[in-house]
């Protein structure tokens, strides 16, 4: 039976594997969108008004940004040896390249941007579902890739992979460095952070001391947002003139669903060269500006004109004016970026793929992993690996070029658990947190695609709070849903498919983020390097201020003495300068090392626009050493898997077994090395103790004989 099912599955999957693949790297690519076979699509009606989201950190608000949808793909994993042994049947399968169909009810089917059968490699998944996001983030467009699916459906396999099949995260890291090498016209600074959300607590995986970190709202001012007077022409000092505004939050209080913020709004009029300071209280429900009070008597205020604020009626409650956004009430005003950040998270500048992978491997040491009925090494937390990319033009192109800053979030979600998972104690508590946060994610996505929803409950879970800017359209998003074909998970797979289908309708308007110099670390380093080099030049040219010896009419002896003193001082000064030069040089070298540049000349480059899947990454020995050993598969394929499953079907979650497995999951080559060392060690110990026993025995026999 199992063999029959397996061969059937192979037949179906080979159909998918043999079908032609297409290039999907272009930013403006449009995937087919179908609603098929009577499956009701929650947002299939094109007439329905969909919410539009704008990325508010980009420079030009006038520029038309092409709309994109979230890229949604589905990846099947093969039936596991255990499922085959248990005679599981196939209930869902990949019907061609874009459709998932139900085996028992063929009219039940869903279409996605791409469906990957169980034989598809992670590299291929990367080319189709991830490469355009990584490419975009290297050009300044934020990107988020996340794997979603029930427990044991293959999320960690897809995102992290192992030495034999590196996952999206290591492939993305490799790709980022390859792009730097292919982009000689720009220089880059890469930083990484790695966190987990475990039982609704945010922990820093790169810093064991960073536990229970706070998520903060981020209101940033974009200083180069120009504004003209609002359409309502308020009577203000700044009437009809262009200028700049800055918003400084002084105090913020979150109630259940809104933020009350006390702010100082500073307006600078370019033409009249005058400054206006307004104190305001802003009540913000998600991105909706509800009410604003300012301290001006006439109750007028200027805002960036593209947002067209209109003045409302005065209220009796002390608010002298009420403002509402005239267009779509989910738009944050330009000049304010509504996002979130984790306070106190550690960020490390990375210099090579191996360096970044070593940090991930170190972070994995601290991630919460545990055994469940379904997965011996189940992820019990959501993890977010973030690569922050800054770049600026270099060399002959550096003049006037903007600095771009973007973030690439690579997310491995914990798997939802069905009620069939008869877990107890810690695992049950973890499972309920996981399910709750995934439920909130589902609700947020439903509301985002609903079009009528006025409140999006991002704040109901840490996960959605952190994903808020990604989900609200600020950058490219790729959702990889992992599913198992097995009949025992049919219902859960169906839920995943419905979730994926809904997510397809989220619209994004990703734009390149250009930032001002002062905010950028790369500019800070570049400026410091320039300053240090100038200092060094001055030292080399000997531009030193030597105190002049004035002819004060002293006699010759005194003059001679002064000359000798001067020589001594000059000598010590020269020595000091040598030391200073060395210190400057080493600082320049240290800083320069942090900024990554291509070793190619700019003329030999064919960048910036690359087409189609192209870079074939081969991982070096050093890099592979930081990927997990292929231990998980070996365990499942191994008949000894039953050793871990007790008679009643529950998994032996004894600490020893789990700790042993957790250990073997890490640092692949080290794992290869350790058992051998310990093996040799135990052979030596055993031989030594056998020899000792033999010696004692012969001594006893000798005594007895004498």
Ligand X SMILES: Nc1ncnc2c1ncn2[C@@H]1O[C@H](COP(=O)(O)OP(=O)(O)OP(=O)(O)O)[C@@H](O)[C@H]1O
**Residues making contact with ligand X (CB under 6 A):** 77-78, 80, 149, 151-157, 375, 378-379, 414-415, 482, 632-633, 636
In the structure, how many helices (H) and strands (E) does the chain have? 16, 27
Is residue 150 part of an annotated ligand binding site? yes
The minimum distance between CB 178 and ligand X, in angstroms, equals 24
Is residue 483 part of an annotated ligand binding site? no
Is residue 119 part of an annotated ligand binding site? no
The minimum distance between CB 368 and ligand X, in angstroms, equals 10
Q: Please identify, using beta-carbon distances, which residue of 149 and 210 lies nearer to ligand X.
A: 149
Q: Please identify, using beta-carbon distances, which residue of 360 and 394 lies nearer to ligand X.
A: 360
Is residue 155 part of an annotated ligand binding site? yes
Other CB atoms within 10 A of residue 42 CB: 17
Cis ω for the linkage preceding 608 (within 30 of 0): yes
Is residue 312 part of an annotated ligand binding site? no
The minimum distance between CB 196 and ligand X, in angstroms, equals 12
Is residue 152 part of an annotated ligand binding site? yes
Closest CA to 158 of 84, 88, 74: 74
CB 282 within 8 A of CB 294: no
Q: Please identify, using beta-carbon distances, which residue of 221 and 374 lies nearer to ligand X.
A: 374
Is residue 677 part of an annotated ligand binding site? no
Q: Please identify, using beta-carbon distances, which residue of 187 and 417 lies nearer to ligand X.
A: 417
Q: Please identify, using beta-carbon distances, which residue of 392 and 461 lies nearer to ligand X.
A: 461
Burial (CB < 10 A; 0-12, 13-18, 19+), residue 311, is: middle
The minimum distance between CB 377 and ligand X, in angstroms, equals 6
Q: Please identify, using beta-carbon distances, which residue of 83 and 286 lies nearer to ligand X.
A: 83
CB 161 within 8 A of CB 532: no
The minimum distance between CB 375 and ligand X, in angstroms, equals 4
Q: Determine the Cα–Cα distance for residues 426 and 433; give it in Å rounded to an integer.
A: 11
Q: Determine the Cα–Cα distance for residues 657 and 663; give it in Å rounded to an integer.
A: 10
CB 12 within 8 A of CB 103: no
CB 132 within 8 A of CB 25: yes
The minimum distance between CB 309 and ligand X, in angstroms, equals 46
The minimum distance between CB 61 and ligand X, in angstroms, equals 41
CB 374 within 8 A of CB 456: no
| Maximum CA extent, the chain | 120
The minimum distance between CB 414 and ligand X, in angstroms, equals 5
Q: Determine the Cα–Cα distance for residues 667 and 646; give it in Å rounded to an integer.
A: 29
Q: Please identify, using beta-carbon distances, which residue of 160 and 331 lies nearer to ligand X.
A: 160
Is residue 154 part of an annotated ligand binding site? yes
The minimum distance between CB 129 and ligand X, in angstroms, equals 13
Q: Determine the Cα–Cα distance for residues 409 and 415; give it in Å rounded to an integer.
A: 18
Output the CA–CA distances (angstroms, integers) from residue 403 to 173, 349, 397, 520, 608, in the order listed. Answer: 21, 17, 12, 7, 15
Q: What are the residue ranges of helices labelled H in 350-485?
A: 353-364, 425-450, 462-471
Q: Please identify, using beta-carbon distances, which residue of 371 and 512 lies nearer to ligand X.
A: 371
SS3 content of the chain, % helix, strand, coil (to 5): 35, 20, 40
Q: Please identify, using beta-carbon distances, which residue of 229 and 379 lies nearer to ligand X.
A: 379
CB 50 within 8 A of CB 509: no
Binding residues for ATP: 149-156
Binding residues: 149-156
């Amino acid at each position: 039976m199992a063999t029959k099912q397996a061969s059937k599955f192979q037949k179906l999957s080979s159909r998918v594997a043999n079908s032609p693949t297409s290039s999907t790297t272009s930013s403006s690519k449009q995937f087919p969108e179908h609603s098929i076979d009577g499956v009701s699509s929650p947002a299939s009606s094109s007439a329905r008004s969909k919410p539009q989201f704008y990325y508010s950190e980009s420079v030009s608000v006038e520029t038309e940004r092409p709309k994109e949808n979230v890229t949604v793909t589905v990846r099947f994993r093969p039936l596991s040896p255990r499922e085959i042994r248990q005679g599981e049947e196939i209930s869902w399968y990949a019907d061609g390249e874009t459709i998932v169909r139900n085996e028992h009810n063929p009219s039940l089917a869903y279409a996605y941007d791409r469906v990957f059968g169980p034989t598809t490699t992670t590299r291929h998944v990367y080319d189709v579902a991830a490469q355009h996001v990584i490419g975009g983030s290297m050009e300044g467009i934020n990107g988020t890739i996340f794997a979603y699916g029930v427990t044991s459906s293959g999320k960690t396999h897809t995102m992290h992979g192992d030495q034999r099949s590196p996952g999206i995260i290591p492939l993305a890291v490799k790709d980022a460095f390859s792009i730097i090498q292919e982009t000689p016209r720009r220089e880059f600074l890469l930083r990484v952070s790695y966190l987990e959300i475990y039982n609704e607590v945010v922990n820093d995986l790169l810093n064991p001391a960073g536990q229970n970190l706070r998520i903060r709202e981020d209101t940033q001012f974009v200083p180069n947002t120009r504004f003209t007077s609002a359409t309502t022409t308020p009577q203000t000092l700044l009437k009809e003139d262009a200028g700049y505004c800055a918003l400084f939050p002084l105090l913020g209080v979150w109630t259940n669903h809104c933020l009350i913020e006390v702010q100082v709004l500073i307006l600078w009029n370019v033409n009249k060269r005058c400054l206006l300071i307004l104190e305001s209280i802003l009540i913000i429900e998600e991105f909706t500006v509800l009410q604003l009070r300012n301290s001006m008597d006439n109750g007028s205020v200027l805002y960036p004109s593209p947002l067209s604020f209109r003045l409302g009626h005065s209220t009796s409650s002390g608010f002298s004016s009420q403002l509402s956004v005239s267009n779509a009430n989910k738009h944050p005003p330009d000049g304010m970026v509504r996002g979130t950040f984790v306070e106190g998270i550690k960020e490390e500048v990375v210099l090579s793929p191996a360096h970044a992978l070593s940090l991930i491997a170190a972070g994995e040491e601290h991630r919460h992993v545990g055994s469940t009925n379904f997965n011996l090494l189940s992820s019990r937390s959501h993890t977010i690996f973030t690569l922050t990319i800054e770049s600026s033009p270099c060399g002959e192109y550096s003049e006037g070029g903007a600095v771009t800053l973007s973030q690439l979030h690579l997310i491995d979600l914990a798997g939802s658990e069905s009620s069939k998972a008869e877990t107890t104690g810690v695992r049950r508590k973890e499972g309920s947190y996981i399910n709750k946060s995934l439920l909130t994610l589902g609700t947020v996505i439903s509301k985002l695609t609903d079009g009528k929803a006025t409140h999006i409950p991002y704040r109901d879970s840490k996960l959605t709070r952190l994903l808020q800017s990604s989900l609200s359209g600020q950058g490219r998003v790729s959702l990889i849903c992992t599913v198992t074909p097995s009949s025992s998970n049919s219902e859960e797979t169906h839920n995943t498919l419905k979730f994926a289908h809904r997510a397809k309708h989220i619209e994004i308007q990703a734009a390149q983020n250009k930032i001002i110099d002062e905010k950028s670390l790369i500019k800070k380093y570049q400026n410091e390097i320039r300053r240090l080099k100038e200092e060094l030049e001055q030292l080399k040219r000997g531009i030193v201020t030597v105190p002049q010896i004035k002819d004060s009419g002293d006699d010759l002896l005194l003059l001679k003495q002064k000359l000798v003193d001067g020589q001594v001082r000059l000598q010590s000064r020269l020595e000091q300068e040598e030391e200073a030069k060395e210190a400057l040089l080493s600082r320049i070298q240290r800083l320069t090392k942090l900024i990554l540049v291509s070793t190619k000349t700019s003329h030999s480059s064919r960048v910036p626009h690359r087409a189609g899947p192209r870079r074939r990454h081969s991982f070096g020995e050093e890099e592979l050493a930081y990927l997990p050993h292929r231990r998980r598969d070996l365990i499942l394929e191994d008949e000894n898997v039953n050793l871990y499953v007790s008679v009643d079907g529950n998994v032996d979650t004894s600490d020893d077994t789990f700790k042993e497995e957790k250990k073997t999951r890490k640092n692949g080559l080290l794992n290869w090395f350790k058992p051998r060392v310990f093996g040799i060690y135990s052979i030596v110990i055993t031989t030594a103790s056998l020899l000792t026993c033999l010696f004692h025995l012969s001594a006893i026999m000798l005594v007895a004989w004498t």
